[in-house]
Amino acid sequence: MTPCPMQDLPGCLGPGPAPCLGTVRQGHALCRTCWALVPQALQGVVYRAAGALRRGRRAVDHYRWVLCAAKVAVELARRPAASLLCLSCPQPWPWAVVKAGCRALPSCLPPLAPPGRVLWLALYAPGDVDAESLNWMRDEGLMPRMEPVHAVVGVAQLRGVVEGGAQHQDPWVRGAPWVWQLDGVVALPEPVPHQARDALWLPEPDLLDQIRRQWKAGRDLPPRLVTETMKVTFPWEDQ
């Protein structure tokens, strides 16, 4: 038995579940109480990732990613007042959202919080590149840029997280299992430098404060014209 990793959380803000005092059983990542705070669809994703991990080592990055998301889901449940979530989007996705009008992020993650919870996303631009998406955007005639790096570049409202797959028509999504729908995107006038340790996290007060100040400054600027965007490719052959 080891202490649950969620015992390290900063103090609960406002009403919410009591702080975690649990221990983790062997072969598990969270205590029972924390696991029960993870939404069911996300639990399923974690189970499948753990199964893939047992079958072969190549799935380790995916497992780490979904486990990180599960911990953030617990943290959101334990901190009802938190509303801003930092999401690391490999290049060139930050560009796609902030400069090219992308409002639907393809993802393997279902919702992290029950419906009705208002969440905002701070888009973090890391140093790593999603080469497959980069090539695809270039093939579509776009000219993605990969800068800046290691900075929060924009903030968007998370309008919803819906199932993707073959039925989803947004051209940015391309059959991803889940779609994170964005709204009210604000490009930060000055990207906020940061060295992220995780791909998904709730910001510390200092980072939150800097992002909030830049968001307010960016929100008051006149809207910028989006000059590059994905052409909608309707699947005529299915008709």
Total residues at the site for Zn ion (CB under 5 A)? Answer: 6
Distance CA 121, CA 182 (A): 8
CB 89 within 8 A of CB 98: no
Closer by beta carbon to Zn ion, 37 or else 185: 37
Q: In the 8-state DSSP scheme, what is residue 167?
A: G
Question: What backbone phi and psi angles, to 5 degrees, belong to 45?
Answer: -65, -40
User: Binding to Zn ion by residue 49, rule CB under 5 A?
Assistant: no
Q: Supply 160's token pair.
A: 């919803």
Q: How far is the CB of 158 from Zn ion (least distance, A)?
A: 25
Q: How far is the CB of 78 from Zn ion (least distance, A)?
A: 9
User: Binding to Zn ion by residue 24, rule CB under 5 A?
Assistant: no
CB 19 within 8 A of CB 11: yes
Closer by beta carbon to Zn ion, 3 or else 184: 3
Q: Supply 134's token pair.
A: 């980069």
Of residues 16, 22, 80, 171, which one binds Zn ion by CB under 5 A?
Answer: 22
Of residues 1, 3, 4, 89, which one binds Zn ion by CB under 5 A?
Answer: 4
Interface pattern 99-138 for Zn ion (x via CB under 5 A): ----------------------------------------
Of 31-39, 82-90, 113-121, 222-230, which part binds Zn ion (CB under 5 A)? 31-39
User: Binding to Zn ion by residue 20, rule CB under 5 A?
Assistant: yes
Q: How far is the CB of 112 from Zn ion (least distance, A)?
A: 16
Distance CA 16, CA 79 (A): 6
User: Binding to Zn ion by residue 34, rule CB under 5 A?
Assistant: yes
Strand order in the sheet with 84-88: 104-107, 178-193, 151-163, 120-125, 84-88, 200-201
Is the bond into 148 cis (omega within 30 degrees of 0)? yes
Of 21-29, 39-47, 181-189, 212-220, which part binds Zn ion (CB under 5 A)? 21-29
Of 13-21, 58-66, 119-127, 208-216, which part binds Zn ion (CB under 5 A)? 13-21
Q: Which residue is nearest to Zn ion (CB)?
A: 4
Alpha helix stretches (DSSP H) within the chain: 32-35, 40-55, 60-78, 93-98, 131-139, 205-219
Which residues of the shown chain bind Zn ion in the complex (CB under 5 A)?
4, 6, 20, 22, 31, 34
